[in-house]
Amino acid sequence: MQPLPQLDGVPGRMRQVRSFVLRGGRLTDGQKRALDELWPVYGVDTGPGVLDLPALFGNRNPVIVEIGFGKGESTWQMAQEQSGQNFLGVEVHLPGVGHLLLRLDEHRLQNVRIACADAVVFLRECLADASLAGVRLYFPDPWPKKRHHKRRIVQPAFMSLVASRLRVGGVLRMATDWQHYATQMLEVASACPLLANESAAGEYVPRPDSRPVTRFERRGQRLGHGTWDLSFRRS
């Protein structure tokens, strides 16, 4: 298998508190094969320096970063339906990376690249200011216990970082099925001076057609979970 980038291989000092816990996770034979054969096609080298996005994708189409794509269900569907945009997925768990690689190959998608990295460090060290048309953060780990809330990725410093990487007019979209986390997301994003809520009431927005409904979300709906969508535009 081609060597994959390690988290500590991304330049810059790692945060003391991460929003994720690395899990071993068993790779299927298909995922192992995908990592071996397809990573060189879709994988991103997170070496020193800012990425040249037009060179990475081979075009100058708008780039949207999806943070923590899980198994990549939303990623490949968004890429398929929005072929005029490029998608850069960031995920730390190899089984999810392998799963998405298989879907990209199955659907012959060329407008997706994958980084295996801590998203906060990746945004800070590998992407230039005002380089993105959008950022997507769908169903991040809610860390429901109060003592773990500090691990939630949506914090003021993170929001400022995201805003700095969005170009003027770029859109941050988030979704969660934890109401308490939705409230935190709304408060933190609303407090960022570079972001404007696309909800006229300054609250949540309906699920945009561009966000696929995943199996994870459907399962939550069957359990009676609500879903809260947010959309903020870089001013």
Q: What is the 3-state secondary structure (H, E, C) of 24-46?
A: CCCCCHHHHHHHHHCHHHHECCC
Query: What pLDDT is attached to residue 1?
Result: 40
Q: Has residue 18 got a pLDDT over 60? A: no
CB-CB contact of 171 with 199 (8 Å):
no
Query: What pLDDT is attached to residue 223?
Result: 85
Q: Has residue 14 got a pLDDT over 70? A: no
Q: What is the mean pLDDT of the chain?
A: 90
Q: What is the dihedral of CA 77, 81, 83, 84, to 10 degrees?
A: -120
CA distance 30 to 33: 5
Which residue in the list 8, 29, 141, 209 is annotated as catalytic? 141
Q: Has residue 12 got a pLDDT over 80? A: no
User: Tell me: the pLDDT tens digits for 88-147?
Assistant: 999 999 999 999 999 999 999 999 999 999 999 999 999 999 999 999 999 999 968 888
Q: Does domain 26-44+55-127 have CATH number 3.40.50.150?
A: yes
Q: How many CB atoms lie within 10 A of CB 15?
A: 13
Confirm whether 45 is a catalytic residue: no
Query: What pLDDT is attached to residue 224?
Result: 84
Q: Has residue 217 got a pLDDT over 90? A: no
As a whole number, mean pLDDT of residues 152-177 equals 97
Superfamily name and number for 136-235:
Vaccinia Virus protein VP39 (3.40.50.150)
User: What's the pTM?
Assistant: 0.88
Query: What pLDDT is attached to residue 31?
Result: 95
CATH 3.40.50.150 in the chain is located at 26-44+55-127, 136-235
